[in-house]
Amino acid sequence: MTILIENVLVPEGKRVDIEIEENIISAINPKEKDRSDIIIDGSKKAALPGFFNMHTHAAMILLKGYADDYELHEWLTKHIFPMEAKLKPKHVYYGTLLACAEMIHSGITCFNDMYFFEEEIAKAVEKSGLRAVVSKAFISETYNRAEVKKAIKNIEKYARVIPALGPHAIYTTDPETLKDAKALADELNVLIHFHLSETQKELADCLKKYGKRPAQYLAELGFLDEKLINAHCVWLDRGEINLLAKSGAKVVSCPTSNLKLASGIAPLKEIIDSGITTTLGTDGSASNNSLNMFETIKLASILQKYKYNDATALPAKQAFELATINGAKALGLKAGMLKEGFLADLFLVDLGHISMVPRYNLISNIVFAATPGCVDTVICDGEIIMENKQIPWEDEAKEKAIEVANELLG
């Protein structure tokens, strides 16, 4: 199938025709236009590369608003972990599907997920039309090498799904588990998705238990390399930043979640300046409480300005790149830009939406003014998955999510 988006505004500030053939952007301003199966009028729209939500727990949307206003460790141990013990496969499937709908409305075309019942997550991804990294999540008490290998095989058969390993964090996985998980990731040639230096307590406990800061501890275990994606990284010092940069490991900042749980503000300016591939994530809806990527990008930028008392820190263009091309780089995908030969993962913004008026600079509006309400159409892997703000299966997803949430909380 061939799609042609005519006369659409792009980030460079000019209007072009974008041709999509199968799942690839086949041409910018193609010479022949009459061979397209679908033609989209882009005269009142802008085209942007799809956002990468690089750290989330999608199914936790079922716990949105369930346990607010607690610090992280109390929130996890006294509220979230006990509720998660009640989860069944159907909860994760319908929770993930609802989360996929919310992410589509926010211009997200790929997300990096870590949760339980990973095959249910993969099924929901396939139903939604999105692209995702699906991690087999575990702590030391639940880690079983054979089961993890089986899980990777089960999820890699789903369309647009990249399998990964998801050891939870330093405080839930012991050194032996981490070393074996790293060896297994190397054997299977998959990514590792991990929580790192999220809170001061995590830092203090690591220093007390191992005599080292978290990133130093991981380096000594041989855990740091280019296939490691570290969420949060709020409490890194200069030495740890240098270790991550040298190893090629990636960083995901989750500013909304970090603020809500009073975890702190990550030193993104220093992390980025060190050359680390830096990306953005919403985290899960139980700690955010939304999957709003526009909010995430804006907060990432303005928090760095506040942290460093520097209004030039993390400017709009750079913040936009954290959510697009950097996500693609972190996952090794040819995506994140509107260029010939790149994956056709993109969204169209309604330029008549109030958040886009007036418009002196498209990227500035996207980073500092836009909301999910301005997203009109989403295309992922060359397929239109939302058009005129409508997702065909969204009503069903909402109804089923309400049903299983009530059952979970009942």
pLDDT for 183-208, tens place per residue?
Answer: 999 999 999 999 999 999 999 999 99
CA–CA dist 151, 119 (Å, integer): 7
Question: What was the pLDDT predicted at 32?
Answer: 84
Q: Are 255 and 269 in contact (CB under 8 A)?
A: no
Mean pLDDT of the chain: 97
DSSP state of 99: H
Question: What was the pLDDT predicted at 76?
Answer: 87
pLDDT in tens, 204-260: 999 999 999 999 999 999 999 999 999 999 999 999 999 999 999 999 999 999 999
Tokens 């900042």 correspond to 253
Residues contacting residue 88 through CB under 8 Å, at least 6 positions apart = 117
The CATH homologous superfamily to which domain 52-331 belongs is Metal-dependent hydrolases (3.20.20.140)
The DSSP bridge pattern shows strands 45-49 and 346-350 to be antiparallel
CA atoms in the 13 A half-sphere facing the CB of 359: 21
- Region(s) of the chain under CATH 3.20.20.140: 52-331
CA–CA dist 299, 292 (Å, integer): 11
CA–CA dist 194, 202 (Å, integer): 14
Question: What was the pLDDT predicted at 410?
Answer: 76
pLDDT in tens, 249-263: 999 999 999 999 999
CA–CA dist 176, 61 (Å, integer): 32
- Region(s) of the chain under CATH 2.30.40.10: 2-49+341-389
Question: What was the pLDDT predicted at 409?
Answer: 84
Q: Which residues of 41-58 are buried (b: 16+ CB within 10 A; e: fewer)?
A: ebeebbbbbbbbbbbbbb
Question: What was the pLDDT predicted at 5?
Answer: 98
The DSSP bridge pattern shows strands 375-380 and 346-350 to be antiparallel
Question: What was the pLDDT predicted at 99?
Answer: 98
- Name the CA dihedral angle for 195, 316, 381, 45, rounded to a multiple of 10 degrees: 150
CA–CA dist 266, 226 (Å, integer): 20
Question: What was the pLDDT predicted at 49?
Answer: 98
Structural tokens at position 127:
């139903």
Structural tokens at position 252:
């995901």
Q: What is the CATH number of domain 2-49+341-389?
A: 2.30.40.10
Question: What was the pLDDT predicted at 146?
Answer: 97
Q: Where are any strands of DSSP class E within 75-128?
A: 108-115
Residue 108: C-alpha distances to residues 38, 123, 182, 262 (Å): 22, 18, 29, 26
pTM (predicted TM-score) = 0.98
DSSP state of 343: B
Question: What was the pLDDT predicted at 35?
Answer: 80
CA–CA dist 185, 182 (Å, integer): 5
Q: Are 4 and 344 in contact (CB under 8 A)?
A: no
Angle at 68 between CA 65 and CA 70, to 5 degrees: 160
Tokens 């610090």 correspond to 71
DSSP state of 50: P
CA–CA dist 136, 147 (Å, integer): 10
Q: Are 236 and 215 in contact (CB under 8 A)?
A: yes
- Tens digits of pLDDT across the chain (410 residues): 899 999 999 999 999 999 999 999 999 999 887 788 999 999 999 999 999 999 999 999 999 999 999 888 898 899 998 999 999 999 999 999 999 999 999 999 999 999 999 999 999 999 999 999 999 999 999 999 999 999 999 999 999 999 999 999 999 999 999 999 999 999 999 999 999 999 999 999 999 999 999 999 999 999 999 999 999 999 999 999 999 999 999 999 999 999 999 999 999 999 999 999 999 999 999 999 999 999 999 999 999 999 999 999 999 999 999 999 999 999 999 999 999 999 999 999 999 999 999 999 999 999 999 999 999 999 999 999 999 999 999 999 999 999 999 999 87
Structural tokens at position 371:
């909301």
